[in-house]
Amino acid sequence: MEFQNIVFEVEESIAVVKINRPNKLNALNEQTLKELQEVFNEIQNNERIYVAILTGEGEKAFVAGADINELNKLDVISAKKFAEFGQGVFNLIENLGKPVIAAVNGFALGGGCELALACHFRVASENAKFGQPEVNLGIIPGYGGTQRLARQINSGRAMQIILTGEMIDANEAYRIGLVNKVFPQNELLDKAKEIARTIASKGQIAVRYALQAVVASNNLPVEDGLKYEASLFSLCMGTEDFKEGTSAFLEKRKPEFKGK
């Protein structure tokens, strides 16, 4: 697969996707969004890949937003398609069925913050900065920011970030629960890989059911979510990994999961 604006690597069961337009601070133009769609379809279909990490090339930006050159040309009709296409790509990531970790290595603004929010959780470098600066451009977030930010953090704080367009640093992002951990820039990717390897060492059917159940909690009333959880919980008992995991515990040895 040939990409212009993305670097895609697979190391054992971990995929690393780097958005690669550093001279434009990795801004998301249409081509980059199409390539993201293509690469995440590949990750979804590739049985060798268990976990993906999404990051940006360079030391300055994860993604500094949608490409403002393209935004500037939109009208009422094309803007709806623009938002729906981006939302579709971000929904693909959220509903990938495999964990996606955002390793936020610099600016994550507008569409960049929204892209990080579509991932299942976020770690960041010390120089990372987050924001939804769309109001500075006379627009509102269009790739899910009004929905996912308010679900991820306290809704009043999300409201303030969106309405003021303020940029927050990595420590503040950690304090409000937007990122799980902050690392020095030069350690970020290795630390993200360490987390990915931990996830990859578990029973993958259980990992995927757990992921599915938590993702569903965003959209289901708690009663329906609990029913869904009980169904997926019982399905685990039909797997070899369940026998292996519980037997290994009882036999005081490390489990060898096969994802079956």
List the catalytic residues: 114, 134
Taking a C-beta distance cutoff of 8 angstroms, is the pair 109, 67 a contact?
no
**Interface with ligand COA, residue 133, by CB under 6 A:** yes
Sole window of 5-13, 19-27, 206-214, 216-224 interacting with ligand COA (rule: CB under 6 A) = 19-27
Per CB under 6 A, 110 contacts ligand COA: yes
Strand, helix or coil at 184?
coil
CA distance 208 to 206: 5
CB 213 within 8 A of CB 229: yes
Q: State the DSSP code for 51.
A: E
C-beta closer to ligand COA: residue 138 or 221: 138
> Of 95-103, 130-138, 188-196, 218-226, which part binds ligand COA (CB under 6 A)?
130-138
DSSP-derived secondary structure letter, 95? T
Interface with ligand COA, residue 25, by CB under 6 A: yes
Specify the 3-state DSSP secondary structure of 176: coil
Stretch in the footprint of ligand COA (CB under 6 A) among 21-29, 171-179, 199-207, 249-257:
21-29
Decide: is 27 part of the binding site for ligand COA (CB under 6 A).
yes
Residues near ligand COA (CB under 6 A), total? 16
What Å distances lie between residue 36 and 33, 71, 142, 227, CA to CA? 5, 18, 17, 33
Which C-beta is closer to ligand COA: that of 66 or that of 179? Answer: 66
One residue of 4, 41, 69, 180 binding ligand COA per CB under 6 A: 69
Reported residue count of the chain is: 260
User: Does residue 99 bind ligand COA (CB under 6 A)?
Assistant: no
Residues 6+ apart with CB under 8 A from 7: 16, 17, 18, 20, 57
- List residues binding ligand COA (CB under 6 A): 24-25, 27, 64-69, 107, 109-111, 133-134, 137
